[in-house]
Structure 1
Amino acid sequence: MSEFVVHHVALDGQGGADHLPETDLPKKIPEAGCRWVHVDAGEDASRDWLASVEGVADEVVEALFAEETRPRMVKMGRGTLVILRGVNLNPGSDPSDMVSLRLWVTPHFIVSSRRRKLLSVEDVVNSLAQGEGPTDSADILATLTVTLTGRMSSVIVDLEEELSDLEERIGEGIEQGQRELLVQRRLETIRLRRFLVPQKEAVQALSQDTSSWMTSRQITQVQEAVNDIVRYVEGLESLRERCQLMQEEFVNLQAEKMNARMYVLSILSGIFLPLGFLTGLFGINIAGMPGTDNHQAFWLFCGVLLVMGVGQFWLMRKSRWF
């Protein structure tokens, strides 16, 4: 298989598919059967091939190979352009760094492009290899939508559990690194929501497309995906608010901790201020200081300071300063 062709299959209509070589890539939009070509958008050869296919409009090529995309669904050329995002579950990757999947779908032809590997596509290809996959292009679109949506559930659940654990730990006391962890999780929530909100609108538009060639079963699948995405968006809204409340609680706890320390310092300052004044006054080295000729004067002075300190402590305690 060529470097730019990731998958090229012809569906048999029974849940299976035949893998085809690059030499069999269609030169015009098929009018029968179902052909799926999944290409690497980072390869120039992918763009050159699609631009050469008869019946594919230039705006379709531009949309499938654009550098930056947001989820959307729109009629384009002789088919439907659908751009979706899926969580990044590749090893060592941040799930909130969502991977885009661009599809252009006609009744008998579907072209999809990627810039990074998306496990949901591999799931569909594996199901076709086992004879349990989609039967036509509309089924591929519905299956990919459902699979992409389903993989988001575990990521959001893990995020909810981690934030719940962080809430409990913050309630027990501030630990080193909690603030950085909270900021990181809040950014992940914002990044996920950034793409899920437009994705909800795109999938909802797909489910409401009355001119679609999708069957009632496939439309029901897409509608269920819409319900799941709405639930995820609402969950992310709740998580974002919880993150904000935790940040406020973190600031309040830090302020309380600082105030407690400043209060202790104020109490100590209040006790030692008069004592320091007396020691400074009796520390001046000039004639006329009392007790300079008395060998017991130092101990008497220390006793007076001790009595004054204890007296101030008792007075503050009685006044409920602490």
Structure 2
Amino acid sequence: MPICVFDVAGDGTTSVPNDTNLTGDGVYRWWHFDLADPMLVPWAEQHLHPIAGGALVQPKTRPRCDRFEGGLILNLRGINLNVGEDADEMISVRIYADEDVLVTVRRNKVFAIDAIRRLAEAGSAPPSTAEFLEHLITGLTDRVDQHVATIDERTDHYEIALEDKDTPMPRDLPDNRRAVIRLRRYLEPQRAALSKLSTLDLPMIPEAVALSLRELANRAAIDVEELDELQGRLISVQEEHDANIAQRQARHGYVLSLAAAIFLPLGFLTGLFGVNVAGMPGVDSPNAFAVLCLSMLGLSALMVILLKLVRWL
């Protein structure tokens, strides 16, 4: 059984049909299914062309736009806003649209479709399939814009924090790098699909809607370009953090090397004079320890002077 089905009139008012025909008495009939519905495959085989029906029930999809007879087959992706899910694991919506019928299939809840469903339940659905697509793509694109803007704000924060060279690497930096990669994986083909959709010459898409679709395709292209920039910026932040860590480690190693250079001859002297054998000088002199300490202090000063002369210090 479909999640919902509505007959939509020219003024946007809706009614729930009593029959199971593909189309109804309204301007168009909207069928909305869950991909896991066991009745979806037999319904698609009964009512749709095998190519259109097969596109709706494919287990794996990528964004696409193909003209099919007088309508179109369209696959899109949206930000995953379901609770407990990663937003950048984009969820798909499969669409077959013609002038008098529109079929949508989803695997997970798509909030942009749910918003249209609430409009339909309130009797104010998009009055044509073209306007339905415009409304849906606008909702998907708005959510993509917001998510990309969120990653951009985080990246700005990372870059500002780098002004302090001792700032530790953000724990969520690798997560954001992976998020950008996953988003771009789907948004690049989605940009191409929306660009193709905006140029299709279909009777079902009036010029006013086509203009809006071209603007949405442009926004999708901007999102892809923004992701390209974010990917480069995040790599730069990662590399600068790595360079700062390497610099701190080199500085610490340098300090330890200088300390070793100064204390190595002192360790040799203390080891030599700590030998417990007869004949050691100063054994019977009460001032021998003070003389040894002063000699070691002088040797330390001499080592510091030598390190400065060779520009190691």
Shorter-chain-normalised TM-score: which range?
Answer: over 0.9
The 1-side partners of 2:14 and 2:40 are apart by 22
Once the two structures are superposed, the pairs formed by residues 250-269 of structure 1 within 5 Å of their partners are 250-269=241-260
Indicate yes or no: 2:289 matched with 1:298: yes
The 2-side partners of 1:177 and 1:210 are apart by 51
- Residue 19 of structure 1 is aligned with which of 16, 20, 35? 16
Indicate yes or no: 2:7 matched with 1:6: no
Residue 155 of structure 1 corresponds to 147
Contact 1:7–1:39, Cα closer than 8 Å, also in 2 = yes
Once the two structures are superposed, the pairs formed by residues 74-93 of structure 1 within 5 Å of their partners are 74-76=66-68, 79-93=71-85
The 2-side partners of 1:100 and 1:87 are apart by 9
Residue identity in the other structure for 2:20: L
Cα pair distance change 1:146/1:208, threshold 3 Å: same
Cα pair distance change 1:61/1:225, threshold 3 Å: same
Cα pair distance change 1:71/1:119, threshold 3 Å: same
Indicate yes or no: 2:175 matched with 1:181: no
User: Structure 1 residue 268: deviation in Å?
Assistant: 0.2
Q: Which moved more, 1:76-85 or 1:160-169?
A: 76-85
Cα pair distance change 1:319/1:89, threshold 3 Å: same
Q: Which moved more, 1:59-68 or 1:161-170?
A: 59-68
Instruction: Give CA deviations for 1:2-60 in whole Å, capped at 9, x if unaligned.
Output: xx42121110111222234xx5332x45596310000000121122222222xx12222
Once the two structures are superposed, the pairs formed by residues 47-196 of structure 1 within 5 Å of their partners are 47-53=41-47, 56-76=48-68, 79-176=71-168, 178=170, 180-196=171-187
Indicate yes or no: 2:204 matched with 1:213: yes
Residue 234 of structure 1 corresponds to 225
User: Structure 1 residue 313: deviation in Å?
Assistant: 2.7
User: Structure 1 residue 140: deviation in Å?
Assistant: 1.1
SS at match of 1:25: coil
TM-score, L = length of structure 1: 0.91
Residue identity in the other structure for 1:15: G
User: Structure 1 residue 149: deviation in Å?
Assistant: 0.9
The 2-side partners of 1:182 and 1:219 are apart by 39
TM-score, L = length of structure 2: 0.93
Give unmatched runs, 5+ long, in structure 1: none
Instruction: Give CA deviations for 1:161-193 in whole Å, capped at 9, x if unaligned.
Output: 011101111331344552x42111011011111
Instruction: Give CA deviations for 1:54-85 in whole Å, capped at 9, x if unaligned.
Output: xx122222211111110001133663110000
User: Structure 1 residue 286: deviation in Å?
Assistant: 2.6
Question: What RMSD in Å do the two structures reach over aligned CA positions?
Answer: 2.0
Give unmatched runs, 5+ long, in structure 2: none
The 2-side partners of 1:317 and 1:105 are apart by 80
The 2-side partners of 1:133 and 1:78 are apart by 22
SS at match of 1:37: strand
SS at match of 2:67: strand
Q: Which moved more, 1:245-254 or 1:122-131?
A: 122-131
Residue identity in the other structure for 1:205: K
Residue 288 of structure 1 corresponds to 279
Residue 222 of structure 1 corresponds to 213
Residue identity in the other structure for 2:19: D
Contact 1:85–1:199, Cα closer than 8 Å, also in 2 = yes
Contact 2:14–2:121, Cα closer than 8 Å, also in 1 = yes
The 2-side partners of 1:267 and 1:222 are apart by 67
Residue identity in the other structure for 1:210: D
The 2-side partners of 1:195 and 1:284 are apart by 75
The 2-side partners of 1:308 and 1:259 are apart by 27
Contact 1:174–1:250, Cα closer than 8 Å, also in 2 = no
User: Structure 1 residue 264: deviation in Å?
Assistant: 0.5
User: Structure 1 residue 267: deviation in Å?
Assistant: 0.9
SS at match of 2:172: helix
Residue identity in the other structure for 1:307: G
Runs of 4+ in 1 over 6 A off after TM superposition: none
User: Structure 1 residue 287: deviation in Å?
Assistant: 2.7
Q: Which moved more, 1:63-72 or 1:88-97?
A: 88-97
Contact 1:156–1:232, Cα closer than 8 Å, also in 2 = yes
Residue 35 of structure 2 corresponds to 41
Number of corresponding residues: 313
